[in-house]
Structure 1
Amino acid sequence: MTKKNYEAINETLITEQLSNGLNVFLLPKQELSKTFAIFSTNYGSIDHSFVPRNKQNAVTVPEGVAHFLEHKLFEKEDHDVFAEFSKQGASANAFTSFTKTAYLFTATNFIEQNVKTLLDFVQAPYFSDQSVEKEKGIIGQEITMYDDQPDWRVFMGTIQNLFHHHPVKVDIAGTIESIASITKEDLYECYETFYHPDNMTLFIAGNFDEKKMMELVKENQSVKEFPPSDEIKRIMPDEPNDVYKKETTINMPVSIPKCSVGIKGLVNETDSDAFLLNDLVESMILDFYFSEGGSFYQKLYKEGIIDNSFYFETNIEKGFGYAIIGGNTSKPEKFSNLIQEMLLSIKDKTISEAEFERMRKKQIGQLLRAMNSIEFIAKKYIHYHIMGIDFLEIIPRLQSLTYDEVSLFLKDWIQDEQLTTFIIKAE
């Protein structure tokens, strides 16, 4: 067990990798009344082609298995996991993203018992043919519900325009057709491959004694048997740098059209510092040019091209990345043209050193405010840990960021072939 102090943010993190491979991170904060725990596996919706553990040949499972598996782990033969957490005063949940599946709870009492429940239910799968068939109907309704939501359609439509072959273009829940073919054997094979402790992370933050908590986790894991650790062989298709489609328009029952402009990221996943630099600078630049305080935002707002729904987001993961700028607009074509023109002109603009300092200080301030949330810290730590990056070192990295690094990044950031548009018009 090692303890690391982060003077820049006044935090102390206790870490240990257990003998079974599980990485455990403890962030004790006795001044809080609550505790948050998240048990995550490095396995998401994009991981549907892989070589199963202890096998030689690759398999491709139906799209949506990771999300399906998340649902099924809560269902046991003789009890309901949500009811168990509820009896112990905890609020439990789970989520599946493109790259990870996570199980979590928040509680103020019975923390040790809730941690045991979290570890035990995730590490004790139970799937039957009957329960799998029942779940197909439930998830099918969820897929249909999301298909009827314009905000989700514009998001996934933009992603599908950006990528030719990468499985990120497939909805996290899969499709009605793909989940229909899922079997309990698929679930067990994916579980045995990706839910081994050596592919998982436990992060607990809040009011607890770190020594007692680490002993609890060790004892819990020591009585469980797992096969020897083995490297997971994931199979991803080659993905071109250009976008799959430049523009798509669909019709839905919306009162105001929606438009989004997508930027396809070119990710350097072999160099963790280059990955982090890309992540930090892209967020800073988007905020500088497209936040409410900027002149470009004010121009679009005054001309009636955007309203308060305007947003921008960026997501960089291992192997892929994207940024999306969008919102409601009565002039979707003009919205798209102006956003793309601005993005393509950024490389020719000059940011002054004073503007760079303001950008950097704003980014640091936003991060420090967000770090008041233990949920934010835990989720972000797990996100960056996959790339070998210590999230709690990001503030010092931002402080050491130089004007030249940002200027160099901007020169090669965006080309026209990396941009796409997705529009939803009223029926």
Structure 2
Amino acid sequence: MELIDYPNYNEKLFVQTLSNGLTVYLQPKAGFNKTTAVLGVNYGSIDSQFMLNGEKVVQPAGIAHFLEHKMFDKKDYDVFELFNKTGARSNAFTSFTKTNYLFSTAESVKENLDILLDFVQIPYFTQAKVQREKGIIDQEINMYQNDPDNQAYFKTIASLYPNSVLANDIAGDIQTVDKITLEDVELAYRTFYRPENMSLFITGKLDPSEVMNWIEDNQRRKSTPAPISLQRRLTLPEASKETVLHTKMDVSRPKITLGLRGSDQVPTGRDGLKYEIAISVMFDLFLSENSVEYDKLYHDEIIDDTFSWEFENERGFHFAVINGDTDKPLELINRLKQIIADIPTKIGHLQTEFQLQKNELFGNYIEMMDSEEAISGQFDGFIGEPVTIYDEVEILKSLTLEDVFEAAHSFLDQATVQEVMIQNSDQPKG
């Protein structure tokens, strides 16, 4: 096993790529009583179009999420039942670019690890089960469609990336889910659920040599799939000019969302992570509760504690979303646009605020280091080199205000802005 040492934090990461291509990352945590494992698949909602062995494949929107659901449904049992019997907590989720399966337990680690690897790597699909799953997914989609926050988020992304796979909800819609066939599910599984397209990260109470032996024994019991030629296809047409999308839903107060689509070239690997952290610090300097701008918006009664922002830097795209409930939607949108426009000229004068923000973020990271769930949540094994929470802290420690200034200009100078407003039909537009 390769050893990656983090002497500043007295932590070690053991890494080994098995003969079948699965890369395993083990991080023992002294004094911890629980163990958390995440089996990640480098496959998400944007991967519905690809070239497989020279042939173009287009699959229905929502198939990655559909497949995640199907993995738990076996011939005569549900996988959650197996985890429940061992006392483990289990879950799964699909994002734009990844599907993760995970468990957390204080006992029976080997048994739970076998359950995790076996249910993901030994599929069971039938026509009847695919049809049955459609009804379950339809209920989930209807729930999302009745959730104003969910609708605001995905409508904003659809406005930023019109006529693309990103314009679809991760779960798809009822029409696209209805088109999914057994053959679609089997093809998606064979294409993406391959050991070389997966990573296994385990942290907490564990002995690296013992756990690696368990994993190797498990993988030897499985056949290695034949090689394939895969090229992912992500086509993102030019963003449209700024538009305003008004949507009517049953909400007590208007909701606004401002989206910014990045068009600059983001570096890969750790340089990409540095860019992501720099942009996050930029938004914190102007939109966090510690900022002057936030304080003004709050005391002018334009925002409340529903106000938030997030920045997504994913494989092939990056964007920011700012949202909140407000009684003054138009004023909030105009104020936010002015704040964003002022960032490039103001940010260079915030050295004191920058250092305070770094200190706060550093404290947040230190707190997360005491949680195996947080440690596993921060891990990324699909950017060409493993990135842990300790790598993020080192990047943050070395980050300068000049780094943030450069990232802010790179992102904001070329960003496309879109806005979404959700309100009742009888609510004034503010």
Q: TM-score, normalised by structure 1?
A: 0.95
Residue in structure 1 matching 2:360, options 359, 362, 366: 362
In structure 1, what is the Cα distance between the partners aligned to 2:402 and 2:209? 44
Q: Secondary structure at the residue paired with 1:75?
A: coil
Identity %: 37
Greater mean deviation of Cα atoms: 394-403 or 202-211: 394-403
Residue in structure 2 matching 1:213, options 205, 211, 230: 211
Tell whether the 8 Å contact from 2:54 to 2:229 is kept in structure 1 after alignment. no
Q: Which runs of 5+ in 2 are unaligned?
A: 426-430
> 1:398, CA displacement in angstroms?
1.9
The corresponding residue for 1:33 is: 33
* Matched ranges for 1:195-344 at <5 A: 195-240=193-238, 242-243=239-240, 245-266=242-263, 268-269=265-266, 271-344=268-341
Tell whether the 8 Å contact from 1:268 to 1:274 is kept in structure 2 after alignment. no
* Matched ranges for 1:50-69 at <5 A: 50-52=50-52, 55-69=53-67
> 1:267, CA displacement in angstroms?
5.3
C-alpha offsets along residues 253-279 of structure 1, whole Å, 9 cap, x if unaligned? 111000011111235355334422220
C-alpha offsets along residues 157-202 of structure 1, whole Å, 9 cap, x if unaligned? 1111111343122101111000101111111100001000000010
The corresponding residue for 2:428 is: none
Residue in structure 1 matching 2:176, options 178, 193, 199: 178
Residue in structure 2 matching 1:146, options 133, 144, 147: 144
Residue in structure 2 matching 1:72, options 49, 65, 70: 70
Q: TM-score, normalised by structure 2?
A: 0.94
In structure 1, what is the Cα distance between the partners aligned to 2:134 and 2:272? 38
Residue in structure 2 matching 1:377, options 375, 378, 400: 375
The corresponding residue for 1:20 is: 20
Q: Secondary structure at the residue paired with 1:39?
A: strand
Tell whether the 8 Å contact from 1:267 to 1:318 is kept in structure 2 after alignment. no
Q: State the one-letter code of the partner of 2:135.
A: G
Q: Which runs of 5+ in 1 are unaligned?
A: none
Instruction: Give the 3 Å change call, closer, same or farther, for CA 426–110 of structure 1 in structure 2.
Output: same
Q: State the one-letter code of the partner of 2:87.
A: G
Q: State the one-letter code of the partner of 2:58.
A: T
C-alpha offsets along residues 126-174 of structure 1, whole Å, 9 cap, x if unaligned? 1111111111111011101110000101111111111134312210111
Greater mean deviation of Cα atoms: 66-75 or 263-272: 263-272
In structure 1, what is the Cα distance between the partners aligned to 2:242 and 2:171? 23
Aligned residues: 423
Q: Secondary structure at the residue paired with 1:248?
A: strand
1:46 aligns with 2:46: yes
Greater mean deviation of Cα atoms: 400-409 or 75-84: 400-409
CA RMSD of aligned residues (A): 1.7
Instruction: Give the 3 Å change call, closer, same or farther, for CA 102–245 of structure 1 in structure 2.
Output: same
Greater mean deviation of Cα atoms: 272-281 or 147-156: 272-281
Tell whether the 8 Å contact from 1:36 to 1:204 is kept in structure 2 after alignment. yes
